Amino acid sequence: MRRTAFTLVELLVVIAIIGMLVGLLLPAVQQAREAARRMQCSNNEKNLVLALLNHESANKSFPPARMGGDGTLPNGNTQPGDQRYGSSAFLQCLPQLEQQALYQQLNDGKIFPAVSDSTTSSWTQVKNTATPLLITRPSVFVCPSSTAPPTLESNANYATGTYACCAGTHGPSDSGGPISFKVKYENDGVFFYWRRIQQSEIKDGTSQTIFLSEVTDAEKAGSQNTWFQGSRHLDCFRTTDNPLNTKYEQGVVCNMYGYKASGAFASEHTGGAFFAFGDGHVVFLSESIDLKEVYRPLSTRAGNEAVNGEY
């Protein structure tokens, strides 16, 4: 007898085989997509570190992680309240990131004075013109693998970012306290409050000094990371005090403001994070990296450590 159709068993077998083949293929496709996102993330970091280096060429020093202080400055230096700008290093580098127009509209990179001064009204001027712009989120500040929402939980007008500068090793566990002078103004990396570090101060060599890396949970209060503001343990200011990929509420935390902040770098790429160094190279460091002998020494600008080349 001639059959004119498939039997049910044949059909089920074919479906099962196709299902298995698709099941084998899917993880490979997802992996390829994650590989592309990782490449994009590494490329973003490269562009950011090149912008910092170009800023140094133009201004003879690197931009601080936070443009101004937010209290008394070290060594008897003073600064009027309305000039203690909270601008991040990335905001100061916008011209080097081909965002000249945004830079000019954000008061030439001078926003968020720590103390508002009603007589000069600089805060009001900035506030009125800047607020709609602070929701912009240039793609160079965002890792494609990041799951953070585009704005902060606490302020739907402030855009989040993925990257933060490295201030050094003095973080929440510093014996002077989590927001001490040492953490904010005398840290041992390259980017912290107010002080402009010069190339000649990076005695460990720029290829041995971490400039920036990634953070996660950028929308949460304890891990807040806008791309335009600089603040200790949070926005664009992280340390190597806690190990890589320590969640923001874990490890040793700063707990002064009603939320916990570990100030650690973290990444959504499995097993480690991308780090951009001062000579422009970007590497993926494993989260199992030795804290005391490798990770922290790589974050200092003049620690005089000999770090083994393999990490």
Partner 1 sequence: MNCRLAPFFILILGFVFFTGCGDGRPKRYPIQGVVTVDGQPLSGDFVGSIRLIPVAGGRPASAQLDSEGKFTLGCYDAEDGCPAGEYKVEVSVSEQKNFKMRYLVPPRYWDADKSGLTVTVEGKNPSLTIDVKWEPQDAKYRKMVINMNE
Q: Which residues bind partner 1 (CB under 8 A)?
A: 70-72, 173-181, 184, 242-243, 245-247, 249-253, 255-256, 260, 271, 287-294
- Least separation in angstroms between residue 21's CB and partner 1 is 14
* Between 184 and 238, CB nearer to partner 1: 184
- 251 exposure class (CB count in 10 Å sphere: 0-12, 13-18, 19+): middle
What's the token pair of residue 250? 């874990």
- Least separation in angstroms between residue 48's CB and partner 1 is 27
Q: Are strands 237-239 and 282-286 parallel, antiparallel or unpaired?
A: unpaired
* Between 102 and 256, CB nearer to partner 1: 256
- Least separation in angstroms between residue 153's CB and partner 1 is 21
Instruction: Calculate ∠ Cα 299-305-310, nearest 5°.
Output: 75
* Between 89 and 264, CB nearer to partner 1: 264
* Between 62 and 248, CB nearer to partner 1: 248
Instruction: Calculate ∠ Cα 230-291-44, nearest 5°.
Output: 45
- Least separation in angstroms between residue 50's CB and partner 1 is 31
Which amino acid makes up residue 155?
A: N
- Least separation in angstroms between residue 74's CB and partner 1 is 10
Residue 164 main-chain phi, psi, to 5 deg = -145, 145
Query: Alpha-carbon distance 35 to 22, whole Å?
Result: 20
What strand order describes the sheet that includes 272-277?
237-239, 163-168, 210-214, 272-277, 282-286
Query: Alpha-carbon distance 241 to 129, whole Å?
Result: 37
- Least separation in angstroms between residue 290's CB and partner 1 is 4
* DSSP secondary structure, 228-288, as one string: SB--TTSTTEEESSSPTT--TTSSS-B-SSSS-B------SSTTEEEEEETTS-EEEEETT
Residue 212, strand partner residues: 165, 276
* Between 4 and 27, CB nearer to partner 1: 27
Query: Alpha-carbon distance 157 to 57, whole Å?
Result: 33
* Between 117 and 293, CB nearer to partner 1: 293
Q: Name the residue with tokens 């500040």.
A: 141
* Between 44 and 169, CB nearer to partner 1: 169
- Least separation in angstroms between residue 159's CB and partner 1 is 25
Which amino acid makes up residue 246?
A: T
* Between 16 and 101, CB nearer to partner 1: 16
- Least separation in angstroms between residue 255's CB and partner 1 is 5
Q: Are 172 and 261 in contact (CB under 8 A)?
A: yes
